[in-house]
Amino acid sequence: MPVNLPTNLLRSFVAIVDTGSMLHASERVFVSQSALSLQIKRLEELLQQSLFHREGRRLALTAHGDLMLDYARKVLALHDEAVAAVTAGHFAGPARIGMVQDFAELLLTGLLAQFADLHPEAELYSRVAGTAELLDLLQRRQLDIVLGFAAPNDGNAVTTAPMSWFGKEELAAHETIPLAVLETPCRFREAAIRALEDAGRPFRITVETPNLTTLRAAVDAGLGLTCRTGMFLRDAPLGDVGLPSLPHVSCVLHTAPGLDGPTHQLATLAREVVAGLPN
């Protein structure tokens, strides 16, 4: 009986070589590092050959691994070509989109649901993180689409919106302004602190959290003021209460080069949804 090599094992093998580590490969093929190790072990058992050896902390190909890499690429290329030819007009993913927390609540139940209706066989992968981290993943080809924040003059801006102060109005009268902020890096945190420092207003950070939901709860509870845009916080922003003015921010859309039809359609849908957000 000939040995059958599952394509998911070959894809994981190639991902380790291309990314240079188990960690980065696990992010590309969407499995844990432990599962990835088991996949490589299984592939080596099927081939009855070692594919990697360690050089310090680095994984290096053995002679058999180097030989297998060329065949694995050919097998996967032919496999993907066959799937594309037979399922022309259909898409099985994955479509990989990353977004900042502000977009997640709006888009996960709207944009992605709409895309899933158009492509029911698609595998959707979404990552919620800060803009800098998402752009790094895009550069490493681990995401196809990124929605984040940038300066108002950014060339990838879809729309711009003014930053505003949110929270209990009475907190603005405190001699030392209590701030509720997200952890660094955060464009809104930086803008709030810079505005207060430039205006000579004392402040202290009363709440610091990595989570936007917790930030909202802290602001609703009167624990501090925060800086955000009217697109994402439910309450109306504070009016003229003596706080310094804040800059604008742009909502940006970045895409990987060479997106195919369905992922390009997802990027187009994302652009349309973000462009239509009230600001």
Using one digit for the tens of pLDDT, what is the confidence trace for 95-145?
Answer: 788 888 888 766 666 677 777 777 776 777 888 888 988 998 888 888 889
d(CA 161, CA 270): 17
Q: Are 229 and 163 in contact (CB under 8 A)?
A: yes
pTM of the entire predicted model: 0.63
* Domain 7-86 coded CATH 2.60.120.590: no
If you average pLDDT over residues 167-184, what whole number do you get?
92
- Is 3.40.190.290 the CATH classification of the domain at 91-279? yes
Dist CA 256 CA 267 (whole Å): 10
- Exposure pattern of 203-228 as b/e (b: 16+ CB <10 Å)? beebbbeeebeebbebbeeebbbbbb
In the chain, where does the domain assigned CATH 3.40.190.290 lie? 91-279
pLDDT of residue 235: 66
Integer Rg of the chain from CA: 24
Question: Where residue 28 falls among pLDDT bands split at 50, 70, 90?
Answer: confident
- Residues near 196 by beta carbon (within 8 Å), at least 6 away in sequence: 177, 179, 202, 203, 244
Q: pLDDT band at 85, cuts 50/70/90?
A: low
Helix axes 7-19, 22-29, angle to 10 degrees: 130
Mean pLDDT of all residues in 257-275: 79
Name the segment(s) of the chain with CATH classification 1.10.10.10. 7-86
